[in-house]
Copies of this chain bind each other. A is one copy, B any other.
């Protein structure tokens, strides 16, 4: 582990991939090695700006991330792009699996694109992405972009591991937002209306204005920072610099106010406890005495034939049988 940790800290890309494959493994012995590796790497982590990016299908997320990533690389940053997508079941298992989605960025020596782990619970996928983020930071990446698909609970998980949460929208009225799950708008520190070019330019500005007014009515996620709305065109590369400038302004505020340290501390504590309860639930579900009729009990509860309290007691009693 120490050798691998050293190689990762030295910035060896092949070892980075090996390390991430290790933390993504669900094998018990691998989990143990991963925990040891992470503890070794921990002191070398925390140096990156962590940005979560979510958006409805059709908002142009891949084009935006490629444009933002290339902008950052040109500015001398080392950029890692990770993804959380529990729904993903494809081979590479990812919304990022299709390399053609970010062809140019994926060819850059200063960018690393990692597909979402293909299977597992949201908790599992999120855990592995969190750990992959730490490995990337230890390797020297100073910007980590965590993409999520905007249609599941994964946004909450991603907001729980990043410093700033960015919501990408296509120009248009609220109906276009149906693809974005409820609650996500209120998670956003930064809302970006993409596709502000050609025929959609005016509509994009109009949409940005609407959200500016709406966000004024929502409580900001970060104290001292009121969520901002910008528009850009990832296609022609317009407004990307302004988006990153807003991110840096946010980070500057979070660093000086102490909010960054506080948020990361809370995130780490929540992460520990979700690890604990995820594991306890996994053990319960995997217990043969429980597995036998958990589905039956669930159905009983859903159809109101057994009270949730009683059903929970039955499941728990099985453990002590």
Contact = CB atoms under 8 A, between A and B. Distances in A.
A311 interface: yes
A188 to B, nearest CB: 10
Interface string A304-321: 111111111101100000
Contacts of A210: 213, 217
Range of interface residues on chain A? 35 or more
A228 to B, nearest CB: 14
Interface stretch (A72-80, A87-95, A231-239, A274-282): A274-282
A276 B216 contact: no
A213 B213 contact: yes
A291 interface: no
Nearest to A220: B182
Given A178-B219, A217-B177, A218-B185, A38 B280 contact: no
B131 A216 contact: no
A284 B280 contact: yes
Contact of A268 (B35, B219, B304): B304
Contacts of A316: 276, 279-280
A34 interface: yes
A186 interface: yes
A177 B310 contact: no
Interface stretch (A7-15, A111-119, A252-260, A295-303): A295-303
Q: Which of A221, A268, A279 has the most CB of B within 10 A?
A: A268
A286 interface: no
A268 B302 contact: yes
A281 B217 CA distance: 36
Contacts of A268: 301-302, 304, 308
B183 A35 contact: no
A176 B44 CA distance: 42
Nearest 5 CB-CB pairings of A with B: A275-B312, A271-B308, A272-B308, A214-B214, A265-B302
A39 interface: yes
A269 B180 contact: no
Contact of A277 (B221, B277, B302): B277
Interface in A106-155: 127, 130-131, 134
Nearest to A179: B219
A41 to B, nearest CB: 8
Nearest to A56: B219
Contacts of A305: 42
Given A211-B217, A214-B218, 19 more contacts: A35-B307, A35-B309, A35-B313, A36-B310, A42-B306, A173-B216, A174-B216, A177-B217, A177-B218, A180-B219, A182-B186, A183-B187, A268-B302, A269-B308, A271-B309, A272-B308, A275-B313, A276-B281, A277-B280
